[in-house]
Structure 1
């Protein structure tokens, strides 16, 4: 049986510290331990791990990382008093280290932006890579988070969405909040500035299509409502363009949950354009749940 563990990646940036606070709260409500991880490629730095002989004895990279982790743990304890937290420094690339950590975690949490420069680019690529390849759900946290509001789950009629729906119900239950299940329909293409193809233009019967999409949404939620009667659910079947509709809906949510295909191929194709758009543009934290990873 896997340990009950929430893992958060840190790099000292404000975004990573916001992720630490979110991860601490997640660990507490899940009755899980919190593992604060910093990945570091020692050989590539070309600097000694200890202090420079010309500088103060506490000015080395090792001391800086120790301070970074101590600050992160302090933020975790302040955000979620009572949470059990440990720390780890892992030699290697962040994406590899966190993907490995995901094998024994319930949830991986990372910040939306890194500490700037190459670190910022690394963290951005880390979130996309993890969302596509992690062995558990991945939460990407914004600097500012809403403490209130429902959990928002994007629902479609594909099998890879089932894990996201399950996670969203469980998360709403843990947080003691409601759930908004949003299904966007009507367009065949949602890329670029070109006008998307609309089913209504081809079929013409808006009411019939709306009723059909509402049935699909209800069927997708079937069983979850019975399993979580404590969660108040509001369903929305909206005709429109998927990405802008979901981004706008995220304004009033404390968390958005989206699914990912979980199949082979390039990272961008594996994750999907909608999931990537939410990671970059949603107004609240986003959790990506790969098919079969919950």
Structure 2
């Protein structure tokens, strides 16, 4: 896809961090960076698009102009040859950015905002965009390790393949290693049980080493086709016995970027956002990109 990288900006410091990350992504891809500021006129909810009240004037104009100017200057400071455009659009932040995502190859936002981006992670905006945007969504948070790898969560499901593909591409663009983490446990909460209780698979199989080998195979098969497409990427498979969420959060301490799928393969596959992706958005120590499988 040749669309731009889009970054949502407001007056928050996290928005400027998002601009820096977005500028890097656009530069690596050789595409345009589009800076978007969404705003609402006081005491009214304007629909996305041109302002129904005419051009911005007075203090509001000065505020918006400063927000956009700071963002554009930050982006050009990251990459002098980067083509940067901008747009100021009336509307709710999540609605505006979701519309922008239809033509973007990546949407980038900060982990906290002000005004239209208030309560980005504590509220519903980040979850909404990660679940509904028409392109992958990067939420810039934490303190990424500049020498660290890309980290991708592997669950072995078909829905997770899009996230793995994105992670391989990111590692190739950045020229860094890829850690593919697959967590497993002998306990499952979605197996069949007469009483509806979690099932200890050791009771059924009787061989924990066999279970481990099967999980190793799941991880290897999930990566096999992507290795062929990106032979220059050094992949470090990591099999962890334990719960997925804490294992990923711990691994993110040393990562540049974490990549997760929007859905898992457990009992809640019908939800637009799985528990792993939600946990990553709230607790990861580095930026997180959520990749939907149906894009």
Q: Normalising by structure 2, what TM-score?
A: 0.86
The alpha carbon displacement at 1:77 in A equals: 1.0
Q: Which runs of 5+ in 2 are unaligned?
A: 46-52, 191-197
Q: Which residue, 204, 209, 216 being the options, matches 2:218? A: 216
Partner of 1:55: none
Partner of 1:225: 227
**1:184-205 superposed Cα distances (whole Å, 9 cap, x missing partner):** 1114259xxxxx7653465442
What residue in structure 1 maps to residue 87 of structure 2? 88
Check conservation: 1:15, 1:143, Cα contact below 8 A.
no
Deviation of residue 147 (structure 1)? 1.6
**Cα gap change, 1:143/1:238 in structure 2, threshold over 3 Å: closer, same or farther?**
closer
Match of 2:236 in 1: 234
Aligned match of 1:250: 252
Residues 60-71 of structure 1 mapped to structure 2, 5 A cutoff: 60-71=59-70
Query: What pairs up with 1:73-222 in 2 under 5 angstroms?
Result: 73-115=72-114, 119-122=117-120, 124-142=123-141, 144-186=143-185, 187-189=187-189, 198-200=200-202, 203-222=205-224
The count of residues paired between Structure 1 and Structure 2 equals: 276
Instruction: Judge conservation of contact 1:257–1:288 (CA < 8 Å) in 2.
Output: yes
Instruction: Tell me, yes or no, if structure 1 residue 16 matches structure 2 residue 18.
Output: no
Q: Hey, what's the Cα distance between the residues in 2 that align with 1:174 and 1:49?
A: 40
Instruction: Tell me the alpha carbon deviations over residues 69-121 of structure 1, each in whole angstroms, 9 at most, x when there is no partner.
Output: 000111111122211101101111111111010000000000011138x8432
> For residues 198 and 74 of structure 1, do their structure 2 counterparts lie closer, same or farther at Cα, with a shift above 3 Å needed?
farther
Secondary structure of 1:113's match? coil
Gapped regions of structure 1 (runs ≥ 5): 52-59, 191-195
Following TM superposition, where does structure 1 have runs of at least 4 consecutive aligned residues deviating by more than 2 angstroms? 43-51, 122-125, 143-146, 187-190, 196-204
Q: Structure 1-normalised TM-score?
A: 0.87
Q: CA deviation at 1:207?
A: 0.9
In the alignment, the residues of structure 1 paired with residue 81 and residue 203 of structure 2 have an alpha-carbon distance, to the nearest angstrom, of 57
Q: CA RMSD in A?
A: 2.6
Counterpart CA distance in 2 for 1:99 and 1:115 is 18
- Post-superposition shift, 1:49? 4.2
- Paired with 1:122 and 1:230, the residues of 2 have a C-alpha distance of 36
